[in-house]
Structures are given as C-alpha cells and as structure tokens.
Amino acid sequence: QVQLVESGGGLVQAGGSLRLSCAASGRIFSNQRVGWFRQTPGKEREFVAAIGGSGGSTYYADFVKGRFTISRDNAKNTAYLQMNSLKPEDTAVYYCVAGRWGLAYSDASYNYWGQGTQVTVSS
C-alpha cells in the first residue's frame, strides 16, 4: 500500500508559477512510477506528467511541455510538479498517482491516488 498526500496548490495569476508536492508513505517509493493527473468539473480526467522510479524517464502531455517539470527525491519519498507560465485553462484539481506497470499516460496504470489539490489560475 502507498499513501499519497499532495500539497502546494492554490490561487495564482496567469503567467505565475506553483510547485506541487506529493509525499508518499508505505511501499518502497523508488519502485513506483509517479504521475500527475488533473480534472475539472464536467471534463474527463487527463494525464499531465509522469516520472519513472529512478527518475530517468519522464513523460509529459503535449499541453504542458516546456512549462511543467516533474521530478522526484526518493530519499525524501516525495515527487514534485513545477508549473510555470500557468494559464487559466490549467485550473483543475491535480492528483498525484503511483503505480508500477502499464502505460505512463493511462490512469488505469496507477493503483494509488492522492486526495487532490486545487490549482486555480486567474486571468
């Protein structure tokens, strides 16, 4: 079992930055690929980014490439999502996820989900 707790969400103006954190406890964190998904009311949940267990592989949705960076510190059992140049359309609840197998961009690949953190970008 892996428990995930997100933090770092909030309200920011367009063009600003936020860094989300995902603190993990439980199973060996370094064995898990960690990702971020987001969801807004009335829309399907969408993949944002993911990072492999060692941090050597990263995956990004096209709409965040060049703006968001995913990273992890296995010594601290924590993953991060640095979000720069935020846009109003980035407004969503962001969920941290963890899993070992499957496609990085598929929510079915992740067994563990955090409770989510709200990110609101004002225009």
* pLDDT for res 26: 77
pLDDT digits (tens, 9 = 90+) for 16-26: 999 999 999 97
Q: What is the DSSP letter of 111?
A: S
Cα(115)–Cα(110) distance, rounded to whole angstroms?
14
- Residue 2's pLDDT is 86
Residue 5 φ/ψ, nearest 5 degrees: -130, 120
Assess whether pLDDT exceeds 90 at residue 55: no
pLDDT tens for each residue of 69-117: 999 999 999 999 999 999 999 999 999 999 998 999 999 999 999 999 9
Give the model's confidence band at 27: pLDDT under 50 very low, under 70 low, under 90 confident, else very high: confident
